[in-house]
Structure 1
Amino acid sequence: MPEFDVVDLGPADAPEPGAEAPDFTRPLVTDEFWEDRSLAALTDDGRTILVFTPMIGSFVGKYVWDELVERGWDDRDATVVGVTASTPYAVSQFLDENEYPVAIFADPANGVADAYGIAHDLDGMAGVAEPRLAFVAVDEERTVEDVWVATEWPEFPDYDDMEERLGLA
C-alpha cells in the first residue's frame, strides 16, 4: 500500500440535483481521435454521466477507469464520459495504452471543473488546479439528477452504491 497523507479538500460548490448542468465544449478524446463536442450534444443522445478525475496519469484516474471499465460502465443505459485537466494528447495516449473503450473530455485549463465548483488547487503548486473526483448524472435536458464529490484526497465512492444511485445497477 503506498504511503501518502490524506488531504481535506474542503467544501465543493457542485450543482445540486434539479439544477441545470453548465454546458461546455471541449475536445472529446478516444484512443483513435478527438473532436470538439459539447455536453448539450451528448445529452441530446440521452442521459450522461460525467466522471471527473484528477490529471489523467494520476493513480486516482487510473484506478477509477480500471474500476468503471471492469464494471462495464462503458456499456450501460447512459453515456459515461470523463473530464480531466489534461491535454488531448495525454488523454489519447492514456486511453490507447490502457485499451479503455471510453471517451474523456480534455480540459487542461480546468474550466469545466471550475464551472462545476469542484476544482481544487494542488498543494505547493501555485496556479495549478485539477478536478476532485466527482460523478455528475445529467438527464437529456441537462438537469442534474445526482452528484457525488470527494471531500478528501484520496477518496473513492462505494461503487455498488454509486451504480444504484445512478440507475446503472
Structure 2
Amino acid sequence: MMDFDVVSLPDADHVTEGEEAPAFTRPLVTTDYWEDVALSDLLAEGPVLLVFTPMDGAFPTTYVYNELRDRGVADDVQVAGVSVSSPYEHATTIDDRGIQAFEGLFSDPQNGVAEAYGVEHDLDGMAGVSEARPAVFLVAEDRTVEYAWVSEEWPEFPEYDDVEAAIDEL
C-alpha cells in the first residue's frame, strides 16, 4: 500500500465540453527532437487528446502515460502530453515510458498552457510555483473540446473507459 494522503484540490474553472480549446505554441518533444509546435498544427492532422500531468517523474504522470500506452490510445487519436518539465526531461520520459507512439510532450515550464485551460495547481509551501493537475481534453479539429476530465483530488486518475468512449464517438 502506498503511503500518501489523498488531498482535495480547490475547484478549477477549467475549459469544458463544447467550449473552444485555447490555442498555444510550445516546444513539442519527440524521441528525435523538439521544436515549437502550435496546437493548430496537430489539429490539422486530426483530433488531439491533450493530457496534462504534473512534472515528469511524479507517479501520477507515470500511471497516466503507462495506462494510455497499454490501452493503445495513440492508435486511435493523436496524444500529446503537457507539463512543466523541460524538453530534456520529456525526452527521457518518452524513452522510459515507451510512449514513442504519442505525438510528443509539450514543455510548458511557466505553466501558461495549464493556466489557459484552468488546470494549474499551486504547490503547497512554494510561493510562485505551480504545475498542471491531472487533466484530459479531447480536442476536435475545429478546437471544440469534445471531452474534458479534470482531477478533483490528488492523486486521481481519469476514467480511461470514458476517454476511450469519447474517442470512439469522434
TM-score, scaled to structure 2:
0.94
2:115 is matched by which residue type in structure 1? D
1:119 is matched by which residue type in structure 2? E
Distance 1:142 1:98 in 2: 28
1:161 aligns with 2:132: no
Describe the shift of the 1:49–1:92 C-alpha distance in structure 2 as closer, same or farther (beyond 3 A).
same
The offset of 1:168, in angstroms, is: 7.2
Query: 2:53: which partner in 1?
Result: 53
TM-score, scaled to structure 1:
0.94
Q: Secondary structure at the match of 1:166?
A: helix
Runs of 4+ in 1 over 4 A off after TM superposition: none
Alignment of 1:88-103 (within 5 A): 88-101=87-100, 102=102, 103=104
The offset of 1:95, in angstroms, is: 1.1
The offset of 1:56, in angstroms, is: 1.0
Query: 2:11: which partner in 1?
Result: 11
1:74 aligns with 2:74: yes
Distance 1:116 1:161 in 2: 20
Query: 1:105: which partner in 2?
Result: 106
Distance 1:70 1:84 in 2: 21
The offset of 1:51, in angstroms, is: 0.5
Moved more, 92-101 or 35-44: 92-101
Deviations 1:81-131 (A, max 9, x none): 111111111101111233321211011110000000000101122211110
Percent identity between matched residues is 52
Deviations 1:6-65 (A, max 9, x none): 111111111122211100000111122111100011111111110101101100001111
The offset of 1:158, in angstroms, is: 2.0
Query: 1:141: which partner in 2?
Result: 142
1:116 is matched by which residue type in structure 2? Y
Q: Secondary structure at the match of 1:51?
A: strand
Tell me, yes or no, if the aligned pair for 2:69 and 2:98 is still in contact at 8 Å.
no
1:135 is matched by which residue type in structure 2? V
Describe the shift of the 1:96–1:138 C-alpha distance in structure 2 as closer, same or farther (beyond 3 A).
same
Which stretches in structure 2 are left out of the alignment for 5+ residues? none
Distance 1:143 1:98 in 2: 29
Coordinate RMSD, CA, aligned? 1.5
Describe the shift of the 1:117–1:67 C-alpha distance in structure 2 as closer, same or farther (beyond 3 A).
same
Q: Secondary structure at the match of 1:16?
A: coil
The offset of 1:162, in angstroms, is: 2.3
